[in-house]
Structure 1
Amino acid sequence: MPFEFHQVDAFTDQPFSGNPAMVYRLDAWLDETLMQRIAAEHNLAETAFVVKEGSAWHIRWFTPVSEVPLCGHATLAAAKVLFDIYQEPAEVLDFTCLSGALQVTRQGERLQLDFPVRRVELVTRELHAQAERALERQVEQVMALGNGDGSVQELMVVLGSEVELRELKPNLSALATLPGLGVLVTASGQKHDFVSRYFAPSIGIDEDPVTGSTHCMLVPYWAERLRRTTLSAFQCSARGGELLCRLEGERVKIAGHARHIASGQLML
């Protein structure tokens, strides 16, 4: 049985940059184990599966090794496919997911994500020191996004400069032992308000090219620090990607380009 897939490079208007994601538009959900095996077969940072449920699209995201609760770039990719390939007429797409309600709005050549704010708190001295050992350098701050039960979902680390961030070569084996899905590292930017990189070796992603969902943590942090709510961001991975961000109350608006680059069929 054939299943149509589409590959999109998110947060870029150029092929071979930004963050690639695979998108499947399904009539009904596949078995979870099968979706995980499909994601492993594509071996991209994320594969998105979307199913229409009422007036909204339910979306799920899988890395090559596990399902994740939120993914920005694959949501942007899914919206690009629904708008351009499946000719969705609406200017706004509503999505539901494990993390709640999301929206993507078509804004000229860009697509804008509407995600919930995710606030971080400073960690213990012990975890701060553990993060410094994994990153093999001293850092300004280490903060965590909690799961609500005392456990850590993500770590966020602040460095002193963009130069430090670009030169960073973390110990990936040590990073994989830290609590949470991954480690977000950020600094003030030279040409952008802030820059970042994201490492998640524990879920099969040594370094993610561009990570939309982490900006739900980054934007409220940098908005408070820089005292403004509209911010330009750049993720300085090897592929790189630019994001235009805005804080509106308890929501984060993240806008970027997306480039549809490939289509095909998976034969099962």
Structure 2
Amino acid sequence: MQLDIFQVDAFTSETFGGNPAAVCPLQTWLPDATLQQIAAENNLSETAYVVRNGEVFELRWFTPTVEVDLCGHATLAAAWVLFEQLGENRDILRFATRSGELRVRREGARLAMDFPARQPELVAVPPGLLQALGLEQIDALYRTDDYVVVVEDEAIIAGLNPDFAALAAFDVRGVAVTAPSRHFDFVSRWFGPRVGVNEDPVTGSAHTSLAPYWAKRLGKCSLSAEQGGARKGQLHCEVLDNDRVIISGHGALYLRGTIFI
């Protein structure tokens, strides 16, 4: 069997930036074990699989170790492949996913993803979290399916060097650490060793929590953001009144090839 595969750098307009994701368009679904094996072989933070079903595309995301409920950068990558490589000429793509229907539309040179917003709730800091992050103190801790750790200096973000084994012990999808920024409305880094991704360069799904937090704190609905450590990407977020958040960014093709299985 031969399968097409694309690798797209999401949330950047240039290769070697943003967050790479593999995209495999399929005619029909393969066994879950095969999908997981391909994702493990790709060894990227996410591999997206797309199957057309009438006017909707079924979309699933796999890390090297597990299937996940939502992935922003691999959704953007999948939409980019459909628009730019496979000739989809409609303005809006509809995806059926484990998190409900997601829509991606063209917005000038960017692609805009319409996701459900997740309102972070203030929680107590669990024992060991600060030590795992290498932090002495934080401003606040919030939770959705991720921990959202708020600090007040973006230099702290750049200097993070977590203990990934210790972070993997916490019962959350991942840990986002965020701060206000001089050049963007906010910056962040995201760590997910529990789901097989020590650090994700740019995590669109994390911004479904980060954007509502910063929108409330800054009193504005349109936000600029940058995420990453050594490798960075940029996002634009718009928090809507209907518990949705629009997350937009660019994509850049790195490779197109064939899988033989």
TM range (shorter): over 0.9
State the Cα deviation string for residues 83-112 of structure 1 (Å, max 9, x = none).
111101101001111111111111221111
Partner of 1:132: 130
For 1:130 and 1:123, how far apart are their aligned partners in 2?
Answer: 15
Q: CA deviation at 1:224?
A: 0.3
Q: Is the 8 A contact 2:200 2:228 kept in 1?
A: no
Gaps of 5+ in 2: none
Q: CA deviation at 1:131?
A: 1.6
For 1:237 and 1:12, how far apart are their aligned partners in 2?
Answer: 14
TM-score after normalising by structure 1: 0.94
Q: Report whether the alignment pairs 1:172 with 2:164.
A: yes
Which residue identity lines up with residue 4 of structure 2 in the other structure? Answer: E
Q: Report whether the alignment pairs 1:236 with 2:228.
A: yes
For 2:85 and 2:206, how far apart are their aligned partners in 1?
Answer: 27
Q: CA deviation at 1:182?
A: 0.9
Partner of 2:193: 201
Question: May I ask how many residue pairs the two structures share in their alignment?
Answer: 259
Aligned to 1:242, what secondary structure does the other structure show?
Answer: strand
Q: Is the 8 A contact 1:5 1:265 kept in 2?
A: yes
Identity, in percent, stands at 47
Deviates more, 1:221-230 or 1:174-183: 174-183
Q: CA deviation at 1:54?
A: 2.5
For 2:257 and 2:27, how far apart are their aligned partners in 1?
Answer: 17
Aligned to 1:8, what secondary structure does the other structure show?
Answer: strand
Q: CA deviation at 1:130?
A: 2.8
State the Cα deviation string for residues 139-184 of structure 1 (Å, max 9, x = none).
1111111xxxxxxx32111111101111111111111111111111
Q: Report whether the alignment pairs 1:50 with 2:50.
A: yes
TM-score after normalising by structure 2: 0.97
Q: CA deviation at 1:236?
A: 2.8
Partner of 2:32: 32
Over 6 Å off, 4+ runs: none
Which residue identity lines up with residue 98 of structure 1 in the other structure? Answer: R
Q: CA deviation at 1:215?
A: 0.5
Aligned to 1:207, what secondary structure does the other structure show?
Answer: strand
Partner of 1:256: 249
Q: Is the 8 A contact 1:69 1:99 kept in 2?
A: yes
Determine which of 221, 233, 239 is the counterpart of 1:247: 239
Which residue identity lines up with residue 155 of structure 2 in the other structure? Answer: V
For 1:202 and 1:233, how far apart are their aligned partners in 2?
Answer: 25
State the Cα deviation string for residues 62-100 of structure 1 (Å, max 9, x = none).
000000100000000000100111101101001111111
State the Cα deviation string for residues 215-268 of structure 1 (Å, max 9, x = none).
000111000000000000000321100001111121101111100110111111
Aligned to 1:156, what secondary structure does the other structure show?
Answer: strand
For 2:139 and 2:74, how far apart are their aligned partners in 1?
Answer: 31
Partner of 1:142: 141
Partner of 1:114: 114
Q: Report whether the alignment pairs 1:64 with 2:64.
A: yes
Which residue identity lines up with residue 129 of structure 2 in the other structure? Answer: A
Gaps of 5+ in 1: 146-152
Partner of 2:6: 6
For 2:99 and 2:114, how far apart are their aligned partners in 1?
Answer: 12
Cα RMSD over matched residues? 1.0
